[in-house]
Amino acid sequence: MSNPIPDFTETELTAAAGVLARRYGEQVDLQLADSELKLDAGDAEMAVCPTLYWTRRGAQFVVFKVGVERYRCQFFYSDADQYATGRPEYDDIEDCVLTLLRVQSDHERRSSGISSGATAADLSDEDYQGPAIL
């Protein structure tokens, strides 16, 4: 069976690596992999999706390419401790990676009990409800 989802392009890889280098202040070892995902909840079959993987500060990150300029992402600490950004899909890889890093950083701060200085009014924003537990 041929895979209709194209591999990551050099442009996509460079863009993702650039976001990570800016975030961590150094080059991050991006690994390429394949993952099997259901692209739609009603799908009977799994699709093979090109995947970017990296790990930092105890978290593991994945960005799945689910179509041309279509991405999904999540971070996890273990099989039982997985999170997503709360947004089902992205059409820009830089936005996808940056949002994933922000959500993980927020999660890490909350888990450590570090206050961001936000007020209760800031935390009641209906658009953001923290990482989505998978």
pLDDT tens, residue by residue, 23-55: 999 999 999 999 999 998 888 899 999 999 999
Whole-angstrom Cα Rg for the chain: 16
The tally of domains found in the chain comes to: 1
Q: Is the pTM of this model over 0.75?
A: yes
pLDDT < 50 regions, the chain = 1, 120, 123-128
Is residue 119 included in any domain, yes or no? no
Is residue 121 included in any domain, yes or no? no
Is residue 41 included in any domain, yes or no? yes
What's the pLDDT at 96? 98
Can you tell me the distance from the alpha carbon of 65 to that of 104, in angstroms, rounded to the nearest whole number?
Answer: 20
Residue-range definition of the domain harbouring residue 106: 10-114
Phi/psi for 54 (5° steps) reads: -155, 165
Is residue 1 included in any domain, yes or no? no
Is residue 77 included in any domain, yes or no? yes
Is residue 132 included in any domain, yes or no? no
Half-sphere exposure (Cβ direction) of 38: Cα atoms closer than 13 Å: 6
